[in-house]
Every structure is written in C-alpha cells, then in structure tokens.
Chains A and B, each alone.
Chain A
Amino acid sequence: MRKRAWWILPMAGAAAIGVHRARSGPSGDDRAHDRWLTVTVNRPAEEVRPGGRLPTPLRAFDERIEVDVRPAPGDRGTELAVRLKQPPGGARTSLPGRLAGQDPRQDLRLALRETKALLEAGEVLHPDTPPTSRETPGGRLVGLLVRRSGGEGVL
C-alpha cells in the first residue's frame, strides 16, 4: 500500500486547501465561502437554457438554486453558473462531511458536470461496472475516494 499511496497526500492536501478556502472568504461578501459553481458548455446560450428551462440534471434542484447563463469569451461557448439559495454550512461542509459526501454542493457540482456532458456529447459517460474484477481492502479505499471524486471541485 505504502508503495503506491503517495498520491493520497497531494489529494488530501488539495482537499484541505479547498475546504480552507471555502470557509475563509474575503470579508465584505458574506457568501464568499459559498461561491457560484460554474462550467463552460461548448454550445450557444439558447441551447444551454432553451426557453428559460433548466437542463435535466439541474431540474431536480429547481426552486433551490439560482442560475446564471452568460456567453463565454472568445469561441468558448456558454458559462453556466449555479448556487444554492440557502447556503449550506456546519458539519456537512467540513472535510469529514465532504469526504462522506454530505455537502449538497457536491451533488450540485455533479449535476453541473452531467448537464455539460449531456449538452455537449449527448450522454454522460458511465464507468465500466463492476469497476474492477475483484474486491480487495485497498481497492475499496481507492473506490471510496474515487466515488467522492465527481463532487464539488476537489474531492
């Protein structure tokens, strides 16, 4: 395990920095710790929010989020930004909470990523299942980290 686990350090470090940043925004903006989550979609704005409607993966959040759609600079498509109207806080946004997948922003980030994939490529790529051909304790640990990894920003 030791021999191949070096990468957990940079990952944990990055996660800790992410959490630190998330909690210590500049004073003045009381929601600085709860920034907008954004992706750029390589499609024109009218396709990103046709008739003002939210794309499917985000519809589940419907009343709970604010949405902003604006053209990306140059030829880069459309920036799609979302954030929860009710900022999450407390234990759910702490590092353990995030590792346990309890931060609602993680689900929102995932929905954003899936929205982008659907709009651009027509489908969300699924991993192969089962993820590997047999279960081992080390493998399960990797699996745990990996499962969390589609969430908000880092981890």
Chain B
Amino acid sequence: MKALCWEGVNKLSVENVPDPELHNDQDMIVRLIAGTTCGSDLHLIGGYIPAMRAGDIIGHEFLGEVVETGPGVRRHAVGDRVVVCSFVGCGRCWYCANDLWSLCDNTNTNPGIAQAMFGYETAGIFGYSHAMGGLRGSHAEYVRVPFADYGAFPVPEGIDDTSALFCSDSVPTGWMGADLAGVKPGDVVAVWGCGAVGQMAARAALLLGAERVISIDRIPERLAMTERYIGSETIDYTAVDVAAELRERTGGRGPDVCIEAVGMEAHSDGPAHLYDQAKQQLRLQTDRPTAVRQAIHACRKGGTVFILGVFAGAVDKFPLGAVINKGLTVRGAQMHGQRYIPMLLERMAAGQLKTAHLATHTVPLEQAPQAYDMFKHKTDGCVRAVIRPAP
C-alpha cells in the first residue's frame, strides 16, 4: 500500500510499504476514508520528538471503514464507519478505568524511552515515534487499530466524513482543555492559538458556559475564521500588548482560565524569540514556551492555566514566581479522547459543534508532503489539510 513516511528532519515522502496485519486478538484493520494534518505532526517533522526512524509512517487523526477484525473484537464489524482516537488505550488499566486514557499503562510498546524522559511512560499514539508507542501512523491506505473496542467509535449516519474526522483528535483535545481547566458559567477564558485545537478549545469553553472567550493568534484568516465559526473575540498578538489588552478586556482582573494551544514551536516577535530559538537549536532547551509564559503572566490571581500544546522536554525562563505568588493552577495533558468522543459526536449530530470549516484543503495521499509544507508554513489560508487516500 501507499503511505506517507517521515524520511528525516523536514523530509516526507509517499512510499510503498507492506500492508498492516493483525498482531493481537483485539486489533482491527481500518481502510482510511480520511486523515488530517495536526500541529503535533509539525513537531515530529521538525525533529523535536525523539526516536523517529526514517521510513516511519506518520498520521494519527483519522476516520475509516472496518475491513478486518481480530477474534477479540466485540463492538465492531466489517463495514462500520468509525472515527478512531489518536491515543490508544487498553480500557482496563487503572488509568483507562479512571478516564485518563492518554496515560494508559499497556499501550506503549517501548516504555523505556518515555520512562527516561518523563519518569513513567504514557500511552501509545498512532504514528508518533518509537518513544510514544512504536505504532504505525494513519496516513496510509490501511492502518492497524489495537484495542479496537475501546478506541474506535461508530459515526452516526447524519455526520459527514470531514466533520467526524476531527473527533479523532482536535475536538476532544480542545474539549478536554476547557473541561479539565474547570471552565464554568461566568468565566472569562483566553485561548492562545487559532489552529484547530485552539478553535475547538474556545468552542468548548463557550458551550461549557463561559461568559466570554478571547482567542489569540497572528494569522488574519485564522482570527477571522475563529470569530465567524467559533463565536469568540480575538486578539492579534503582533498588533497589541496581549497582557495589557486582556487585563482591560477583563475589567482589570485577567482571564479566569488561560488555555495554551500553540506548543513547542511557538512564534514571537520579541528578542526572547531569538533567544529561545537559538537555545532550542543548540538543544540547551528542547521547547520554545512563548505562549505558556504569556498565559501564566496574563492569568488572573488564583486562575488556571491549561497547556494543550505539546512539549517534549525542558523549557527555559519558566515564570515559576508568577505561578506560586499568584496561586495559579497549572495543568496539561495529552488528550483523553475516549472519555469525550461519544458525547462530542452527539453534540455534532445536534448541530452544537461544527468542524467542516477547519478542512480548508483536501488532497490525495500522493500530495500529502506538499500539504504538510503548506500546513507548516500556514500558506494559502491552510488550517487543516484533509488527506484522502482514495479520492
């Protein structure tokens, strides 16, 4: 079959690779209907995520049709249209049982690397390096789905492929940010990043009752899209002083909840950016935490900062003083998708959540490298490129 492979830093190509096979009883094989680029892939492509091998298939946000089930699969049958959670959970360890799916104990097939980096390994994720599971990615014609009964969800009739696709990763990620940050009626919420993840976090905050949501980015079409489809206010961080603007828009208090949906390759104009980039390139720090710093600084006293953006290692100039003196709660997580996906599909069917606008481009698998280039550089108004192996 054809698949999109990582060939080295900033090098992707479409290759012929062996078809996936069932390796465990609870596996199934899914034929891809659609997959999408995700901001997390950019960190892989840029070489910031450890333990990639040339030839690794990438991709983790996808929807497809079941073509083969292992003897241990009970809840799915050949022909079902399913959306699959990007993180793989066994469903029965203590973490899965407590709805903390991205922390599953049993789905990282190479636990040692994450143990060395984080203390304990986390769950496996499709197409996201040998450190984060060692599972093949989904930008291919077929993909093997382990623990299929727990990670794949049937898509209700009324929801089209492109809309449902984003329930695999970006929608549950955004929802989790607002949910676990404790957004409640009356809150003012600020969200850094107007990519798919930031937009979905903003939408979730509104649906959870936030009084106002303010989204922050610099890309004009993304700001406009967020105002139009999500219904939040926006700030262009290159045009104003974000902290000052947030302070005045919140009656001098600061946002109750700040959600960071930017990640380790954050951009900024200030001299701090050059400093961060240089240190990151020399690997004196692995990540650039610009938006995290800003969120911590801007947050109201006693407020909550939730980090959805992906970071891999260590950061520098972390404003610990603001955290302790302002009594902040700082949290982060990779997405516990299985906890939210059925509810999100219901909300989607009820028309409360719209995602189709995120799919600014649709390409066949052969053009996936160019699509990633466009997504990385945010050219041609690209927010998400949907990859369809069989157009």
Contact = CB atoms under 8 A, between A and B. Distances in A.
Interface in B3-47: 3, 5, 9, 15, 17-18, 20-21, 23-26, 47
A133 B130 contact: no
A132 B53 contact: yes
B106 A116 contact: yes
B81 to A, nearest CB: 23
Interface stretch (A10-18, A49-57, A58-66, A83-91): A10-18
Q: State the main secondary structure of chain A at its contact with B.
A: loop
B254 to A, nearest CB: 35
A120 B92 contact: yes
A6 B52 CA distance: 12
B91 interface: yes
A15 B47 contact: no
A7 B51 contact: yes
Contacts of A15: 116
Q: Interface residues of B toward A: which range? A: 35 or more
A2 B273 CA distance: 22
Given A4-B50, A145-B113, A155-B116, A128 B17 contact: no
A150 B112 contact: yes
Q: Interface residues of A toward B: which range? A: 35 or more
B117 A139 contact: no
B56 A11 contact: no
Interface string A1-38: 00110111111001100000000000000000000000
A148 interface: yes
Interface in A108-154: 113, 116-117, 120-136, 138-139, 142-143, 145-146, 148-151, 153-154
Contacts of A102: none
Contacts of B18: 130, 133
Interface string B41-75: 00000011011111111000000000000001000
Interface of A: 3-4, 6-11, 14-15, 40, 42, 75-77, 113, 116-117, 120-136, 138-139, 142-143, 145-146, 148-151, 153-155
5 contacts: A120-B93, A121-B92, A131-B134, A134-B15, A146-B131
